Structure 1
Amino acid sequence: MDGESRYASSHDNAHLRPLIDLTSRPTSLNYLREAWRRREFAIVVPAQDLRAQNMDTTLGQFWHLMNPALLVGVYFLVFGVVIDTSRGVSNFLGFLIVGIVLFHLTQRVVQEAAVSITQNLGLIRSIQFPRILLPAATVNGQTAAFVPAIVLALLAVLTTGERPSMRWLLLPLVLLAQFVFNFGSALISARIGTAVPDLRHILPHLFRLLFYASGVIFSVDAFVHSFAWRRAFALNPIYDLITCARWCLLGQAVDVWVLAGTVAWSVLMPIVGFMIFFRSEQRLGA
């Protein structure tokens, strides 16, 4: 077969090969596979951003440790010394540290995820990639930034007189539950934040309310005596996570409703978050 015949044959066969429609939405399984194949984006980018933060300050990366320490100090001064909300808590400083660190981790993730799409419109419109990687990068970055705070919390709990026990071995499971819960929350926040740009201004006020509804600075068992209201607190996923972490580190009481809520939220939130995000993925940032 001469060159012209081979060209004609290959040209004819080209019409038989189906074209790929880049505008069609892949199946959820294929979408997750593609996101996993490009997972380095959600790891490398937040790591680079983390190293770049505070580079223009004197203390530099030390601020990742100083910020939570100063935050805990302010709350301890106001609520532990001035107002004295430590009633019913034998180790109020440890109690406060655990609550503040875990609460602000979720708060930072949700608030940053709300703008993860709108702040990367240029990237979205330049190349095609699974946009779920943007909120995933937010979760990874904020979690990495809070590792020093978690280490600080462990050290502070030790200095308050607590000693490691077998319960401490369960703390990684609580942190894993919070991580997957944060991931699902980030997906929902990213989706709503794209449709409602004002969400980033609303979230700080919502989290201020949630701060007091999560028992961060006071013992729900000591201040809330109504059985119905205690069950209402157990519906709050952040309260459930904080209470389980306090049980691990401080031996605080935890009931079956809180345990069930922790498991349920950590399972359902990433599933619901993915469904909400995936249904609108192609319209995000378009």
Structure 2
Amino acid sequence: MTQTVEPGLWSRARDYLRELWRRRDFAWFLAMGRLRAQNASTTLGLAWWVLNPLLLGGVYFLVFTLLFTDRRPDDFLVYLMAGMFVFRFSTTALTGGARSILSNSKLLVNQRFPRLILPIADLIESTVGFLASLGLLMLLALFVEGIWPSAKLLLLLVVFPLQVLFNLGLATTTARLAVPFRDIGNFIPYISRLWFYLTPVIWPLDMIADQSDLVQNLIRVNPMFGIVAAYRTAFLGYPFDGAALAISAVWVVVVLVAGVYSFIKIEGRMVRYL
């Protein structure tokens, strides 16, 4: 009598990843379809992905220029825009993940495919917009501050994949939570706003130099701290903070593993909540 041995965890994970890879064209098709749909309803289309943080950053720049002239860096405009673009990339993952399942409920009911494709497609969509904003950021650094690209730009080969993986963890976490608890989408803007002000996006780090070590350390363990700092190193030539990026990398692993695992665990029951 032969016994059927249930595939182990690693075997199931391998099969799941293989199926995801087989369906990669489907994820790309979904992402590009959303981009075309959004662009069709506006005159400027994809440019709004760049214009939104650019205009908001312009408001913050005016406020800080008028009120905090002695506390802002000399290259504050590009410093600010780097933080705005990078931070928006991650907060878009929060909001996009929360709607990725609910907005595709008919697709889930009528077709069988790895549900992880939906937050991945949303991530592809936001990544296209983010890459466009990085091009603008390089132009701002060159023509506004006169900062030419240097070898530090190679740091993008590390920090960009890290942020993409971090965003995937964020998207799968909010997607998993939003299916049984739809109210989570109403809380995300407030969570994002609090996170925004706790990250050195619109304010330079030396503004808290007179705070206690506890406050400064709490700011530094923020997962976005090391990511934002690394982009500023790449584009503005700031000193590289390896410890901060290492802390962010730990966060990436934790958030990615927890998010993807919890998402896959509920994947088979998602249709019940739709």
2:78 to 83, 86, 94: 94
| Structure 1 SS opposite 2:73 | coil
Distance in 1, matches of 2:132 and 2:22, equals 29
Distance in 1, matches of 2:162 and 2:242, equals 16
Match of 1:136 in 2: 120
What is the CA-CA distance between 1:76 and the residue it aligns to?
A: 1.2
Match of 1:243 in 2: 229
CA deviation profile, 1:12-59 (whole Å, cap 9, x unmatched): xxxxxxxxxxxxxx9222122111111111111111211221323333
Q: What residue ranges of structure 1 are gaps of 5+ in the alignment?
A: 1-25
**1:202 paired to 2:180:** no
2:23 to 25, 29, 38: 38
Shift in alpha-carbon separation, 1:61–1:50, aligned structure 2, 3 A: same
**1:283 paired to 2:269:** yes
Distance in 1, matches of 2:233 and 2:175, equals 32
Shift in alpha-carbon separation, 1:272–1:228, aligned structure 2, 3 A: same
Distance in 2, matches of 1:235 and 1:101, equals 20
What is the CA-CA distance between 1:236 and the residue it aligns to?
A: 1.0
Greater displacement, 146-155 / 250-259? 250-259
- Asked if structure 1 preserves the Cα contact closer than 8 Å seen for 2:73 and 2:204, the reply is yes
Shift in alpha-carbon separation, 1:60–1:135, aligned structure 2, 3 A: closer
Distance in 2, matches of 1:86 and 1:174, equals 31
Distance in 2, matches of 1:266 and 1:158, equals 31
Distance in 2, matches of 1:109 and 1:237, equals 14
2:161 to 176, 180, 186: 176
- Asked if structure 2 preserves the Cα contact closer than 8 Å seen for 1:180 and 1:270, the reply is yes
Match of 1:127 in 2: 111
Count of residue pairs brought into register by the alignment: 260
1:115 to 69, 89, 99: 99
Distance in 1, matches of 2:255 and 2:244, equals 16
What is the CA-CA distance between 1:88 and the residue it aligns to?
A: 5.1
Match of 1:48 in 2: 33
Match of 2:249 in 1: 263
Match of 2:135 in 1: 151
1:163 to 123, 126, 148: 148
Distance in 1, matches of 2:191 and 2:49, equals 24
1:228 to 184, 193, 214: 214
Shift in alpha-carbon separation, 1:77–1:285, aligned structure 2, 3 A: farther
Shift in alpha-carbon separation, 1:69–1:34, aligned structure 2, 3 A: same
- Asked if structure 1 preserves the Cα contact closer than 8 Å seen for 2:50 and 2:129, the reply is no
Q: Which amino acid aligns with 2:133?
A: A
What is the CA-CA distance between 1:180 and the residue it aligns to?
A: 0.7
2:170 to 175, 180, 185: 185
Q: How does 1:68-107 map to 2 (within 5 A)?
A: 68-78=53-63, 80-84=64-68, 87=71, 89-107=73-91
Q: Which amino acid aligns with 1:207?
A: S
What is the CA-CA distance between 1:127 and the residue it aligns to?
A: 1.3
Shift in alpha-carbon separation, 1:209–1:86, aligned structure 2, 3 A: farther
CA deviation profile, 1:134-164 (whole Å, cap 9, x unmatched): 1111111111122221211111111222222
Distance in 2, matches of 1:144 and 1:227, equals 39
Q: What residue ranges of structure 2 are gaps of 5+ in the alignment?
A: 1-10
- Asked if structure 2 preserves the Cα contact closer than 8 Å seen for 1:86 and 1:218, the reply is no
Q: Percent identity?
A: 35
Distance in 1, matches of 2:259 and 2:236, equals 32
CA deviation profile, 1:222-265 (whole Å, cap 9, x unmatched): 42433222221122111220011112222334544302112212
| Structure 2 SS opposite 1:277 | helix
| Structure 2 SS opposite 1:146 | helix
- Asked if structure 2 preserves the Cα contact closer than 8 Å seen for 1:35 and 1:133, the reply is yes
Greater displacement, 67-76 / 96-105? 67-76
Match of 2:6 in 1: none
Distance in 1, matches of 2:72 and 2:129, equals 32
| Structure 2 SS opposite 1:196 | coil
CA RMSD of aligned residues (A): 1.9
Distance in 2, matches of 1:223 and 1:119, equals 41
